Amino acid sequence: MRMRPTLSWTPTKDLPPGTTDLEPITDTLNTGGVLVLSGAGISTESGIPDYRGENGSLSRHTPMTYQDFTASAQARRRYWARSHLGWRTFGRARPNDGHRAVAAFGRHGLLSGVITQNVDGLHQLAGSEGVVELHGSLDRVVCLSCRASSSRRELAQRLEEANPGFEPVAAAINPDGDADLADEQVGDFRVVPCTVCGGILKPDVVFFGETVPPSRVEQCRRLVREATSLLVLGSSLTVMSGFRFVREAAHAGKPVLIVNRDPTRGDQHALTRVAVPLGAALTTVAGRLDITLVDCA
């Protein structure tokens, strides 16, 4: 059974305002055993927009759903044209201070794990290890028929060869690596099949309307059970795939702390929400803990 896409969230009651006080974050990290759950907001300072912020992509862009992708060859052509163009920019993104801070906290033994809702791989580029990619990664491609896996860079080369001269100018790049292109810019873009069986290729990410693999969900639940607290970084928690871990942590009596500029679906379960830009907030916290950020990218 697939989840119905959740693109927006409206508070059902008044939520406490955000704060600028970083002491609870510092104290919690200093205690150790912290599980990080990150969202698109941690990557905005790397040039990748978020979904729901002030300039979020959902104001102009409806993400591809699993149902549309699998049902329509034209939808796949449109997706791969846009995604191929977006990959050129997306694949060049580099970690920012938020990613570097998370990696530094991990190196100093303050974290029990990292779960990310992002598909950009920037936590790993910054040096974080054992990151659970809740929604997969754009670095990989999978065949829907034979399940063969291949690299996105390999597919990008094949798409370049199949579409010489494809150089449209995108209006914007979205958090899922999709570029905003008009239908006339997509034109007759050629999609390439799986090299093993000729089947349909799909990025190895969880589309809207698709479920996270049960084994991955259970892995995240185990991390929640083993953690002493949960630190949410840059996520509105609108989508249940991430929000459920906040609920589980809170129900287990574990402190939930959030760093996000705007109110989130998890605020009612949180000890605090810090409304400070992530890079600056985590750099300040690292300084208070006498931790130096390292550029590993």
Cα 65 to Cα 206: distance, rounded to the nearest angstrom: 9
Sign of CA dihedral 213, 214, 215, 219: positive
45 in a known ligand binding site: yes
145 in a known ligand binding site: no
218 in a known ligand binding site: no
199 in a known ligand binding site: no
278 in a known ligand binding site: yes
40 in a known ligand binding site: yes
- Edge-first strand order for the sheet with 111-116 is 132-133, 111-116, 34-38, 229-233, 256-259, 272-274
User: Residue 213 CB: number of other CB atoms within 10 A?
Assistant: 12
* Chain centroid to CA 143: 22
| Annotation says 84 is catalytic | no
236 in a known ligand binding site: yes
**Torsion angle of alpha carbons 28, 31, 36, 41, nearest 10°?**
40
53 in a known ligand binding site: yes
39 in a known ligand binding site: yes
Given 99, 123, 135, 269, which residue is catalytic?
135
- Element (DSSP H or E) covering residue 139: strand 136-143
Known binding residues are 39-59, 117-120, 143, 146, 194, 197, 234-236, 278
Catalytic residues: 135
Known binding residues for Zn(2+) are 143, 146, 194, 197
